[in-house]
Structures are given as structure tokens and as C-alpha cells.
Amino acid sequence: MPSPVSRRSFLGHAAAGSLGIAFTGSLEAISGPPAFAAARPAAGYGPLVADPAGVLSLPAGFSYRVVAQAGVTLLESGEPTPSDPDGTASFPHGRGATLVNNHEIGGSEPYRVPALPGLTYDPGAGGGTTNIDVDARGERIREYVSLAGTHNNCAGGKTPWSTWLTCEETEQRAGGAFQKDHGYVFEVDPFDREANQDPVPLKFLGRYSHEAVAVDPDTSAIYLTEDAGGPNGLYYRWTPPRKFRGGKGALRALALSEGGDTAGKLEAMSCYQDDKHIADLSEATAPGTRFKVRWVEVPDPDAKTTSIRKQFTDDQITRSRKLEGAWWGDGGAYFVASYARHTDGSVNEHDGQVWFYDPRSETVTLKVLFGVNPDPAQDKDFDGPDNITVSPYGGVILAEDGEGIQHLVGVTDRGRSYQLARNELNDSEFAGPTFSADGSILFACIQSPGYVFAITGPWKSRDKDGD
């Protein structure tokens, strides 16, 4: 059974000759006509100021506070904050917010999510989620377990009814320490602790290496990314049953209903340009490229004998290496392809794509393209975008999970990229960017050694008048 492959481990085995330059730093506007940039124009909030504490460098006028730190801060049950914070969402609560924070724990990490009674799916698995209550300044009030006993909780997505869908990035079968199969999506309520009792896998969303989801607020359709290789992963859509109405508890009730394991319809994306089938998203080499989308039903969503991505031939669907973050915004679903190399089966090479799926036109459009970064050790270009959030100030924020120096990367509505933050601790990835409801705080994580930050400062529009 293949396990998720990190970009670092993969590129560590790639041939040096595969790292040729292609459209380095090129971008297209999030909205508007395509535009290439030979060099990144001035944008964002100005140059980063070195952090005296050697943790997180930010532009002048910005500051951060540590909300949680793995192994240092404590859960209300007395155990230390779990390792490897990843996908995160913020939900307004009173005068502050509640964060739901994934923990991408695969087994070797020092601090597991405690397997508390009633909140644990499989005692053999160490991942899950914690909820963190913060005040209006982002100051930590408390942290507590909301889901335990899940495996490798990577990213996920917010629902329109104010819950969090947390994704297991694995295809782990029961056996050994694991008492149950894994590779599912679970729903977490940020406020109602009773709603999180006796966790229920949403099997109708498929069993595979889930990365992230985006939910259509009008139809409750769910769009999902898969981070897998050998062969590369797929982009999925789940369409609910005709009489389904999204809301708190509705997905759980559907999963527990008769026939709930296969409720609705799970389909994989297949792209076309005119009559030409697109076998891999890396075929797109120009920002603004648009493909027509058709959907192909998944034969066996629970992958009882064969991984879902292996249930299709290459002429039936469209694959992509390292499908990562997802976020609903601007009437559609943004999703990220982190990188592509010839040696992983991709047609062309790049160091990041951001796509936008429009459900009205049934198309996907390449919005952002990062060419192969020639020297990730230099604090110049970006590579390996992972988690994504749509910014209330225009454009998107990307969490970098590449080689060398790691950043939070902003991309304006006009397609200009900029450094928003730099990891001064190490080369660990950023994860989980999400804004507070009022836009005053950007929460984000450094996965190792495990920090959750609240970033504040002079936020302003980064689009037409803000460049």
C-alpha cells in the first residue's frame, strides 16, 4: 500500500537535471486576464523584518503571538499539545474564535492526540483534531480534544454550516496497531462537544489519501483533493442525494442511514480542451488555460480491493501530482497542485499551480503558475504551495511546503506574489492559514516543531489599489 510522499523525500531522489527553469515566478491574476511576470513586482506589505527571537519574520508593523506549541502548551485534560499542526479553520465565538486544528500524526511523532473516551475512532491511531479557544486578540484561552484516533489528519475544509471536515491522508488498512480501516473524512463541530462523540467516518466521500475539501454553499456538493502517487491522484466531486439538505449533523445522519456508506455520488474529474482529453493537469503551461470538465463515477468509493485512483485508466480521468489545499471562494473551488516532475509521471514540470473550478461553467482555470525554482536556498522565488485560503483583502494566501526557505506567500488579485512571513526556525512547512471572521488575525502553523500563530498588523487591500 503506497503511503503519501512528501515533496522533500521525493525531490531528494530526483535527478538534479530535472530541475530546469520554466516560467520561474510566472503568475496569472486571480481574476482578470492572464499575465506573466518575468520578475516579481513590488507587492504585499513590504520587506520582511528579521525576528529577534528567530521564529517568524513579518513585514514592518506586523507581530505574532504563539497560540499553541506542541509539547509545551497543555490541553485542558492535562496532556501536552499534540505534534504536527496542519489544516486549520477559524470560527467566530463570542468575542473571539474557536480554531479547529488538525494534527498530521502518522505514528512516530512525540505527542499524540490523547485517546479520550467517546472522542476516539481507533485507539491505535494517534492523529485527530484539537479545538483552541482564543480571545479577540488571538490570545489562547484553552485547548481541548475534539477528535482522536484518526490517522495523518492533513488538511480539510470548512462547511457552510460552520463545521470542519478533517481529512485522513492515508490508505491504511486495519492490522497491527490499527483496529479499523483509515482514509476517510470526519466532521468536527467547533462548539458542540456532544456532536463530536462517537466519531463517524463519512464513507460516502471515499477512502483514499484525502488532502482537502471545499463545499459549495448552494448545493452542498463537496470537492476533494487527493495527495497520492503511483499513479498520481485525482480531483473528486461528491453530489449529495436529491433530498439532502446541508446543516449541522446532516452528514453524520446520512452516513448512519441505511445505505449511508454509498450515499450520493462520488465522481472523479476528467478534463478536455475541445475534443482532446487532458490526462494530467501539468499539461497546462500557460496561466489562463481553461479546460472543460466532465465527471466520471467512482466504481468502488470504499476501495475494498483497489485504490480509487487505480480503478480508472488514464484516458478516463485527469491526474495530478500532489493535489493539496482547497478553499471555496468567488463562487467556486480553488485547489492547489504543489509541484510536478517528469520523474513522477507528469508531462511538464512546475513548482506550483493554483486552479479554480467554476461549477456554473463546469470548467477549471489555471490561475497561478510557479515555474521550477532554480535555487530554493535563496530567499527569492517560491516553490511547493500547499494549504490555501482566500484572503478578505484580495487574492489568496499559500502555505509553502517546498525546498529550502519556507514562507507564507500572498498572491494578489492582479497576480503579484509577495512574502508575507518567513520561517526562521528551520525548513519545516507552513500550514493551516485561515483568517478570523473580522479579518484582523491570520492564524497559521509551522508544522515542526509545532507552532500555531496569531498574526496581526496593518492589513489592507492587496488588489487594484493596494499594489
Question: Model confidence over 94-141: pLDDT tens digits?
Answer: 999 999 999 999 999 999 999 999 999 999 999 999 999 999 999 999
The string of DSSP letters for 250-275 reads HHHHHHHSTTGGG-SEEEEEEEEETT
pLDDT averaged over every residue in the chain? 91
Confidence of residue 17 (pLDDT cuts 50, 70, 90): very low
d(CA 319, CA 120): 34
pLDDT at position 460 is: 87
Question: Which residue do the cell numbers 452516513 mark?
Answer: 255
Whether residue 435 contacts residue 43, with contact meaning beta carbons closer than 8 Å, is answered with no
In this prediction, residue 22 carries a pLDDT of 27
251 to 90, 150, 248, 352, 465: CA distances (angstroms): 20, 18, 8, 32, 42
Between residues 342 and 12, the one the model is more confident about = 342
- Residue 96's pLDDT is 97
| Confidence bin at 142 (pLDDT 50/70/90) | very high
Residue type, 194: E
> Which of 48, 64, 17, 43 is closest to 379 using CA atoms?
48
Note the pLDDT of residue 323: 98
Residue 17: exposed, middle, or buried by beta-carbon count in 10 A (0-12, 13-18, 19+)?
A: exposed
pLDDT in tens, 217-269: 999 999 999 999 999 999 999 999 999 999 999 999 999 999 999 999 999 99
pLDDT at 82 > cutoff 80: yes
| Residue 38 confidence (pLDDT) | 33
Mean pLDDT of 305-334: 97
3-state SS class at 328:
strand
Cell numbers linked to 85: 499542526
Summarize the confidence of residues 51-72 as an average pLDDT. Answer: 98
Is residue 225 classed exposed, middle or buried when 0-12, 13-18 and 19+ CB atoms within 10 A define those classes?
buried
Please determine, for residue 4, whether its predicted confidence score (pLDDT) is greater than 80: no
Q: Please report which confidence band the pLDDT of residue 147 belongs to, taking 50, 70 and 90 as the band edges.
A: very high
Q: How far is CA 44 from CA 41, 445, 466, in A?
A: 10, 20, 8
Name residue, grid cell 499551480: 353
Residue that the C-alpha cell 480509487 belongs to: 308
pLDDT tens-digit map of 414-428: 888 999 999 999 999
pLDDT of 40 above 60: no
Q: How confident is the model at residue 178 (pLDDT cuts 50, 70, 90)?
A: very high
**Residue whose cell numbers read 493596494:** 466
Alpha carbon separation from 67 to 132, 228, 321, 403 (Å, rounded): 8, 31, 33, 26
Cell numbers that stand for 230 in this block: 503511483
Strand partners, 454: 65, 443
The pLDDT confidence band at residue 42, using thresholds 50, 70 and 90, is low
Question: Average of pLDDT values for 330-334?
Answer: 97
In percent, the amount of the chain with pLDDT more than 70 equals 90
For the segment 191-217, the average pLDDT, to the nearest whole number, is: 98
Q: Does residue 350 surpass a pLDDT of 50?
A: yes
Q: Which of 23-37, 266-280, 330-344, 357-371 has the lowest mean pLDDT?
A: 23-37
Is pLDDT above 90 for 359? Answer: yes
**Can you say whether the dihedral through the CA atoms of 73, 164, 211, 459 is positive or negative?**
negative
Cell numbers standing for residue 308: 480509487
43: pLDDT confidence band, cut at 50, 70 and 90? confident
H or E element that contains 454: strand 451-456
Dihedral sign, CA of 390, 391, 392, 395? Answer: negative
User: Quick one: CA dihedral 102, 105, 110, 114, positive or negative?
Assistant: positive
Phi, psi of 310 (to 5 degrees): -95, 0
Reading the block at residue 70, the C-alpha cell is: 506542541
Query: Residue 3 pLDDT > 60, yes or no?
Result: no
| Alpha-carbon span 76 to 33, nearest angstrom | 50
